[in-house]
Homo-oligomer: A and B are copies of this chain.
Amino acid sequence: MLTERQIQVLQVIIDEFIHTAQPIGSRAIAKKEKISYSPATIRNEMADLEELGYIEKTHTSSGRIPSEKGYRFYVDNLMSPLRLSKHDMTIIQKTFKREMIEFEKVVQQSARVLSELTNYTSIILGPEVFETTLKQIQLISLSDQAAVAILVTNTGHVEHRYFTIPRTMQAADLEKLVNILNDRLIGVPIIQLQQKIYGEVSQLLQRYSADFETTYTYLKEALLEKQPAKLYMDGKTNIMLQPEFNDIHKIQSLYSVMEQEEELAHLLRASGKGIKVSIGQENELDEMQDCSLITATYSLGDEQIGTIALLGPTRMEYSRVVSILNVLSNGLSKKFHSWY
């Protein structure tokens, strides 16, 4: 267990390092108001803290920097839930006040605000509303071989998929098909679409002509096609502002991970309820081992519908960032609640 004084020292080291990115020496710590001990005493404490693994030296005679264990301790025990500045608050509130019909815009804006406020890279996943139901299907033939299916959900989300139709298919047939589909599928939750399609609809259609059958095969494929995860990122270039990333190779590997949207989406989807902090090596992805990833979820009722995350150096302004994520994720939750 750490003594009161050790904790004080650790706190100063981390707070200071977060702002300066420079190793902190005993003299600098002793100068702090809160600290009423001489550099020599501090040095002893620092030696202990180092032995316990909370801080590190960059070389034998350097000041100390926090280790990952140190950050972990800081995040778990030391971090005071910072009150956001008025400036920050108004900026965030402005985001939610703007009248927007499309949730995509809201999420995009949130990502932007988040990255601008923090100077880190923001990543937002979702929202995936599982209660979403199908509102309408439209089939429109484009040529004698191609057609497009347009799906509208009750949340106002619009999607379209292309599919092939046999030449012999008539416009009237297509209309019949769309009627059957609408009849059977409207109001069905999106996640149940698959089983519905394989089940009753499939059977129903077999009664009709072979054309129906083949058309339906293509359409089914198009409808079941896995849609890529909706990932919104902003401030990708912000990492370059951080002194710890003035190495091209680090930047490169980070950018490469930012391009793997599926991996990221998976990661964010797996993040549990509430705010989670992953520091350095704690991260699953190798490319992120020099970073911290903070995730927060937002929800609709009890259901967690998306994740909002921030990627930055391990030397992150944890307390401020956590507060911002808190406010933002609550804001998003409220926004979605007011919609549905």
Q: Which residues of A contact B (CB under 8 A)?
A: 101-102, 135-136, 138, 140, 142, 146, 148, 150, 152, 154-156, 158, 160, 162-164, 236-237, 240, 246, 248, 251-252, 255-256, 259
- List of B residues within 8 angstroms of A237 by Cβ: 252, 255-256, 259
**Cross-chain contact A148 with B158 (CB below 8 angstroms):** yes
Given A138-B150, A142-B154, does the pair A162, B102 have CB atoms closer than 8 Å? yes
Which residue of chain B has the shortest Cβ distance to A100 in the bound complex? Answer: B162
- List of B residues within 8 angstroms of A255 by Cβ: 236-237, 240
Which residue of chain B has the shortest Cβ distance to A156 in the bound complex? Answer: B142
Q: How many copies does the complex hold?
A: 2
12 A-B residue pairs with CB within 8 Å: A101-B163, A135-B140, A135-B142, A138-B150, A148-B152, A237-B252, A237-B255, A240-B248, A240-B251, A240-B252, A248-B251, A251-B251
CA distance A227 to B150 in the complex (A): 20
- List of B residues within 8 angstroms of A160 by Cβ: 158
CA distance A140 to B248 in the complex (A): 50
- List of B residues within 8 angstroms of A102 by Cβ: 162
**Cross-chain contact B162 with A101 (CB below 8 angstroms):** yes
Given A237-B259, A251-B240, does the pair A162, B156 have CB atoms closer than 8 Å? yes
**Cross-chain contact B142 with A136 (CB below 8 angstroms):** no
CA distance A155 to B136 in the complex (A): 22
Which residue of chain B has the shortest Cβ distance to A163 in the bound complex? Answer: B101
**Cross-chain contact A146 with B156 (CB below 8 angstroms):** yes
Cβ of A66 to closest chain B Cβ, rounded Å: 24
CA distance A136 to B150 in the complex (A): 12
Which residue of chain B has the shortest Cβ distance to A259 in the bound complex? Answer: B237
Cβ of A26 to closest chain B Cβ, rounded Å: 33
- List of B residues within 8 angstroms of A236 by Cβ: 255
**Cross-chain contact A148 with B140 (CB below 8 angstroms):** no
CA distance A152 to B240 in the complex (A): 42
Which residue of chain B has the shortest Cβ distance to A102 in the bound complex? Answer: B162
CA distance A305 to B136 in the complex (A): 33
CA distance A148 to B160 in the complex (A): 14
Counting from the closest, the 8 A-B pairs by CB-CB distance are A101-B162, A158-B160, A142-B156, A237-B255, A240-B252, A101-B146, A246-B248, A140-B152
Cβ of A260 to closest chain B Cβ, rounded Å: 12
Which residue of chain B has the shortest Cβ distance to A245 in the bound complex? Answer: B248
Given A152-B140, A158-B150, A259-B237, does the pair A164, B248 have CB atoms closer than 8 Å? no
Cβ of A128 to closest chain B Cβ, rounded Å: 18
Which residue of chain B has the shortest Cβ distance to A246 in the bound complex? Answer: B248
**Cross-chain contact B140 with A136 (CB below 8 angstroms):** yes
Most B CB atoms within 10 A — which of A142, A152, A252? Answer: A142
CA distance A194 to B265 in the complex (A): 40
Most B CB atoms within 10 A — which of A101, A155, A160, A163? Answer: A101
- List of B residues within 8 angstroms of A101 by Cβ: 146, 162-164
CA distance A196 to B242 in the complex (A): 52
- List of B residues within 8 angstroms of A140 by Cβ: 135-136, 152
- List of B residues within 8 angstroms of A158 by Cβ: 148, 150, 158, 160
Q: Assuming A136-B140, A237-B256, what are 18 further A-B pairs, CB within 8 angstroms?
A: A101-B163, A101-B164, A102-B162, A135-B142, A138-B138, A140-B152, A142-B154, A142-B156, A148-B152, A148-B158, A150-B150, A150-B152, A150-B158, A158-B160, A237-B255, A240-B251, A248-B248, A248-B251
